[in-house]
Chains A and B, each alone.
Chain A
């Protein structure tokens, strides 16, 4: 395991790879620093460029975007009280208070230090936990894979929409989108409406870029956010060594917690950062200063959300099941390179997963240097008029879509899915769950039909065995979780 990681490290530290990782980190920081542009949007905009690239470069670059964006989100959260990503919302509480006291630079440095150290802890957990999980997953058959994908989708669907039922519909709609085109088992045309181009199925990139990036642009225009102008003055100050040392235990604990949360389907960086913040506040002495500009209130959520990217790779690499939208995009990056994620990857091409893990490690180190160099430019990015950034994102989306087929069909497709994603957001649905469903669609249907072919059409096989029952229980729990947590919180309120 460590020997393979060492080989991966050799591969990840070639000058060309470091260049790609640095580009990914910079792209991620810029994306994260623009309010409304999440890690998944930044990754989806870069995804078309990876088409035809060597996977030894494209996958580390995409993973580096994820790493950079989780840190980048804290920049506007601290400087202008606007979290760049959902995960940075908890950072606003103390980060912006520090900025108001003229300690914005110190808050940014704490965020960077916590992010890098939290990310490194998470990579260590990734390296040691993925192979045992992959070995265990070798026991899985098609029915277990079917239920595992259903479990992931039900949890993501139920927790990501405003209403759990809307989340479930979002995920099922994603699975439906994956049906469109020629059936791989019988060559039957399904839901193509006589359109020849649809017989090949929907292209991943325009659907992804439309649902993630363009829909967000449309939402900002519709809500009037595009007219907002930022005029805050920013002062740069830096933390002392003593301050950095004082937050280190919190950073290590929250980084490990972020890794575990990242590995759970549907949880993600936003939940990790809130858990990190609230648990640190609960367990720390002198916690009355939280919310008034306490450096621990910046370090805890930032190390937790930076622990999530490496944690998210655990189920993706070991099981071939992405648990979040960012890892779903990474899975598309794998499939564009002709590589299938899952336990067999560790047997057939072990250099790929370990190369990616090593790249995540290198990305954290690169983030430290790039982050320090970009402190001042990022301050500038947050004050650019939104129209310039928004129109640039639209053009990246159009060109990215165009580059996949070199014709207007993909540009129209990206526009259509941009509008669908926008409508979904406005109506309380979850485009992220749709994307996850779309990416997992082939795996779900393929395993469902393979299982039923094995049982000659009988459904009993889906309910046989302890593993199936375990995954079914988690799937049901995933759907019921929002209702249970609502019931519990209402009971708590009544008791209080």
Chain B
């Protein structure tokens, strides 16, 4: 990244583009005879506030110093995002308990620093017991309609 396009300059630029979009889009809303103010004024007011603040960020941004920054865990982060998306996708077809067991197994096996044998035992115990507890607490006690999925017949 060149010194001119520092992180804050990019943020300022992005926010300014967003504000411009809001300003433009608000102009496309139809006006109404029943409302003297209309649906356009307020979004444009917000777009002005965001745009001005973005300009200030852009103009006063300094070249950044990358030294000393801690190394983020991008791989772990992406893994959790993928797991979360898979959880949302499988919740209805598989059902709450199987999806939650799988989610917890994948989380604990990946992140628990214990040795593999202990980790597998902990993960299996935690995944099954906590999933069943959550189902009983939310679905049976509080009446949340959690999807039964493949266990629909068994859970009733």
Contacts and interface: CB of A to CB of B under 8 A. Distances in A.
A76 B84 CA distance: 29
B103 A395 contact: yes
A457 B37 contact: yes
Interface string B90-122: 011000000010011001100111000000000
Which bracket fits the contact residues of A? 35 or more
Main secondary structure of the interface of B (DSSP, over half): helix
B104 to A, nearest CB: 6
Contacts, number: 154
A412 B88 contact: yes
Interface string B27-71: 001101011111101110110011001101100000000000011
Given A190-B39, A453-B36, A172 B50 contact: yes
B73 A223 contact: yes
A364 B147 CA distance: 39
Nearest to A404: B144
Interface string A155-193: 000000001011011001101100100010110101100
Contacts of B71: 224
A364 B126 CA distance: 34
Given A168-B49, A172-B50, A449-B37, A163 B25 contact: no
B126 to A, nearest CB: 6
Contact of A190 (B32, B43, B70): B43
Given A169-B53, A169-B54, A391-B108, A402 B72 contact: no
B146 to A, nearest CB: 7
B112 A385 contact: yes
A175 B138 CA distance: 32
A229 interface: yes
Contacts of A229: 113
B39 A186 contact: yes
Q: List the 6 shortest-distance A-B pairs measured between CB atoms, nearest first.
A: A387-B111, A186-B32, A165-B53, A391-B107, A183-B39, A403-B144
22 contacts: A165-B54, A165-B57, A166-B11, A169-B57, A172-B50, A176-B43, A185-B34, A185-B35, A186-B32, A222-B72, A223-B72, A226-B76, A226-B111, A387-B107, A391-B107, A398-B84, A398-B91, A399-B138, A402-B91, A406-B145, A408-B91, A452-B41
Given A186-B35, A188-B39, A402-B144, 20 more contacts: A49-B142, A172-B53, A173-B50, A179-B46, A186-B38, A188-B29, A188-B32, A190-B26, A217-B80, A221-B77, A222-B73, A227-B111, A387-B112, A391-B104, A394-B84, A399-B146, A402-B146, A403-B144, A452-B41, A453-B36
